Amino acid sequence: MEKRVHNFNPGPATLPLPVLKEIKENFLNFRGSGMSIVEISHRSTLFEEVINDAVDRTRRLLGLDDNYHVVFIQGSASLQFCMIPMNLALPGSPVNYINTGTWSTKAIKEAQIQGKDVKVIATSEDKNFSYIPYDYKVDNQASYLHFTSNNTIKGTQWHQFPDGQGVPLISDMSSDFMSRPFDVKPFGLIYAGAQKNIGPSGIAMVIIRDDMLKRTPDNLPTMLKYTTFIDNKSLVNTPPTFAIYVIDLVLKWLEETTGGLKEMERINKEKASLIYEVIDNSEIYQGTTEVKSRSMMNLTFRVGDEELEGRFLVEAVENGLIGLKGHRSVGGCRASLYNAVTMESVKSLVKFMREFEEKL
């Protein structure tokens, strides 16, 4: 097998090597069918077993009660920005948002386009989204409170989720989904684009509570109703079957090989702490977020001036460290440490960062 690089891409991102090997081994003949997973019918018993297993594993990993539904919807997280207000905003009731960066801003815009009564109850825009705002007042008449749990571009993360004070929480968890255990009960809906932490791009996993479904207006287009996907078990049309298959394998790896979310959180904290230790004890590396708001998933930093930073990124690639360039909207550097990023990769990055500084 050819040597693999250390992949710190922010999404599509690295997948567990055992998952990739299993895909390779079974790609031409899935479970003795004589067909590839990308050739079998989404209505077949074989695929039903795959999607049902993915749902069951999600339920076990998150401890979901029967009043939560797990569905797969194309369009990744971005489609959810408009589906949520369409389906869940109650007539005459405001919708509350907390703005912590690019993706929150996009979600807010989609609700505003629909003419919803959008109230941004907190924002960290005053400091370029470099922190998580904990000073806010929830409108108890709000339909929901929406927030982004981890901010991929800005490198901040909610370490304690907002208190909705009885208002249903809705969260875009695309970039830290399944990275740690949490209490699901306050959430009316959770959504996550798969391409960062649980699978390939192009699909979102959506978890929605029973009571939220009663809000869906009858006059919505069929494919924009959550009830459509729930009533048809995500099979109203042909879903991206390969993506769902990979998600199932990643969840299996997370549950059976890693040992669940508590163990995954321990590993993720250790990985992040190794890199933050280098940044905090350096003369050239500077973190871009407030310490108490730092993300475990997306670690953002600068390296001296632009010339030095350019050298750092070039030499990183030469050393097999891929995907460290920051988002085009902010520049800088970013190491994305999703679940599948190995401790070996993190230690290789730490070694490179230290040696790069020592050479100066």
- Which among 116, 175, 167, 124 has a CA at the least distance from the CA of 146? 167
Q: Which helix (H) or strand (E) holds 287?
A: strand 285-287
C-alpha 235: how far from chain center: 23
Give Dmax (Cα) for the chain: 65
Asked if 103 is an active-site residue, the reply is yes
**Cis before 217 (ω within 30):** no
Catalytic position from the list 154, 172, 176, 253:
172
Residue 334 corresponds to which tokens in the numbers above? 């970013």
* Contact (CB, 8 A) for 194 and 203: yes
Does residue 147 contact residue 124 with C-beta atoms inside 8 Å? no
Strand blocks (E) in 42-165: 68-74, 95-99, 118-123, 145-148, 150-151, 156-157
The CA radius of gyration of the chain, in Å to the nearest whole number, is 21
116, 154, 196, 325: which is the annotated catalytic residue?
A: 196
The SS3 assignment for 241 reads helix
Q: Are 152 and 298 in contact (CB under 8 A)?
A: yes
Rounded Cα gap, residues 80 and 91, in angstroms: 19
C-alpha–C-alpha distance, residues 341 and 351, integer Å = 16
Q: Which of 280-305 are b and which e, b meaning 16 or more Cβ less than 10 Å from the residue's Cβ?
A: eebebbebbbeeebbbbbbbbbbbbe
Kind and range of the H or E element at 37? none
DSSP string covering 4-29: PPEE--SSS----HHHHHHHHHHSSS
The pair of three-digit structure tokens given for residue 6, joined into one six-digit string: 């250390």
Active site residue 225: no
102-113 and 76-88 helices cross at what angle (nearest 10)? Answer: 40
Task: Give me the active site residues, please.
Answer: 103, 172, 196
